[in-house]
Amino acid sequence: MRTVGVEEELLLVDPETGEPRALSAAVLARATRDRAEQDVFEKELHNQMLEFATRPQSGMDELGEEIVRIRAEAARHAGEIGCTVAALATSPLPVRPSVGMNRRYQWMAEQYGIATREQLVCGCHVHVSVESDEEGVAVLDRIRPWLSVLPALSANSPFWQGNETGYSSYRSRVWQRWPSAGPTELFGSAERYHQRVADMVATGTVLDEAMVYFDARLSARYPTVEVRVSDVCLRADTAVLVAALVRGLVETAAREWRAGVEPADHSVSLLRLASWRAAKSGLTGDLLHPATMRRAPAEAVVGALVDHVSQALADHGDLERVRAACADLLRHGNGAMVQRELWERTGSLREVVTGCVRHTQS
C-alpha cells in the first residue's frame, strides 16, 4: 500500500486578539528541546507561520491521529510564549508579515518584492509514495484535471487583510503570484520532466528545484509525488479526507498508466480556469467538471472525483470513510463556510480567528 505524508502550515496568533504573531523562532526553539520533535516542525517563509510534517503512514486512522497530536503539540509550544496556532489559510485580520532572515528567504524578498511580502498563506501538501520517477511523472500527467476539486474541498481562506474577498480560497489566488506556480502541461516522461525543471532553474528566475511550485510535482527530498493545491484544512479530518483522495488519485493514475490509458489532454488554460472556479466557489457554487471542463454543481463534481478513484479507495479500505467525509463536508461546510458563518453570527473577525483556533484542535 502506498504511504501518505502530510505537511501543514499553521498561523501563529494571539489567543485574545486573533492577530498573527511573529514568534515562529521562539516556538521552534521550544519544540526542538524534545528530540522526538526535532524533525517535525520547520520554519517557514514568514515569522507568523509554523510548518510540520507527519511521518509516512499507510492507514488513515494513524495519519489522522498524528495530525491531531502534532497540532496539539504546536499549540502547547506556542502557549508557552503566549500565542497559539490556527489552521487558517490566510489571516482574517490585517497583518504586516515579516520575512525570515535566512539567505533563501531574503533572496526571495529581493527577487519578487511585494509578492514575497504578501505570501502569508498556509497550505496543505500531500506526499504519496511512487516506485520511480517514471511512474511519478505518469501520475502527474493523469491527475492534472482532478486537482482543482481539492482546493474546493479544503477552501479555508475567504478573508484577506480584514476584508471579505468573495473567494472561498483566496490563498490559492495569492499563491499564483509565484512565477513557477500553477498547473502544468503534459510531460510524457521523467526525462522531459527533469529537463523542464532544469530549464526553469537555468533562467535564474527561480533559485533551485525546490522553488518550482507546480500544483503537483516530484518531491526533491522524498520518493513521492507531492500535491500542493489545498488550503490548510480547518479540521484535521478534512486533511485526512484530502490525503485519502490524493492517494486514490495517485494509485488510479498509476494503474491507468500501466494499462496504457492515455492522459486527458486538457490545456493549461482550461486547468487554470478550473482552479480559479474552485477558488471562487469552494463548495457553494458550480465547479468545472474534470472530464468535460464544463460547469457542474459542486456536489456532482465531488461525486465524480470519488467515483473516479473508488476502486483504489476500496482497495485501501478508504471508500466508506471518504464517502461519509464528503457528505459531511457538503452538508456542514468546509473552513471557508465555517469562517463566514462565524463572521455573520458575530460580526467580528477576532471571533472568527478564536473560533477557528478551537476547530484547529478539535
- Domain boundaries of the chain, sorted by first residue: 4-360
Whether pLDDT at 317 is above 90 = yes
Average of per-residue pLDDT across 63-86: 96
pLDDT recorded at residue 32? 83
Say yes or no to pLDDT of 36 above 90: no
What one-letter code names the amino acid at 101? M
DSSP strands (E only) in the chain: 4-13, 41-43, 49-53, 84-86, 123-129, 159-160, 163-164, 216-218, 224-231, 286-288, 295-297
Mean pLDDT, the chain, rounded, equals: 96
Q: Are 45 and 99 in contact (CB under 8 A)?
A: yes
pLDDT category of residue 132 using cuts at 50, 70 and 90: very high
pLDDT (mean) for 51-56: 96
Q: Which one has a higher pLDDT value, 222 or 37? A: 222
Q: How far is it, in rounded angstroms, from Cα 52 to Cα 37?
A: 10
pLDDT band at 328 (very low <50, low <70, confident <90, very high): very high
Condensed to tens digits (0 to 9), the pLDDT of residues 186-214 reads: 999 999 999 999 999 999 999 999 999 99
Distances (CA, A) of 306 to 121, 199, 245: 28, 36, 8
With H, G, I as helix, E, B as strand and everything else as coil, classify residue 288: strand
| 216-218 vs 49-53, strand pairing mode | unpaired
For residue 33, name the pLDDT band (cuts at 50, 70, 90).
confident
Nearest to 284 by CA among 101, 130, 153: 153
Q: What percent of the chain has pLDDT over 70?
A: 99
Please determine, for residue 34, whether its predicted confidence score (pLDDT) is greater than 80.
no
- The stretch 120-130 carries a mean pLDDT of 98
Tens digit of each residue's pLDDT (9 = 90 or more) over 250-304: 999 999 999 999 999 999 999 999 999 999 999 999 999 999 999 999 999 999 9
Confidence of residue 37 (pLDDT cuts 50, 70, 90): low
* Residue 117 amino acid letter: R
Rounded Cα distance, 338 and 305, in Å? 23
Please work out, in degrees rounded to the nearest 5, the angle formed at the alpha carbon of residue 347 by the alpha carbons of 236 and 98: 60
Class level of CATH domain 4-360: alpha beta
**The predicted structure's pLDDT at residue 35:** 63
Average of pLDDT values for 42-58? Answer: 96
Q: What is the pLDDT, as a whole number, of residue 362?
A: 81
Q: What's the pLDDT at 38?
A: 64
- Report the pLDDT value the prediction gives residue 39, as an integer from 0 to 100: 79
Top-confidence residue, 35 or 8:
8
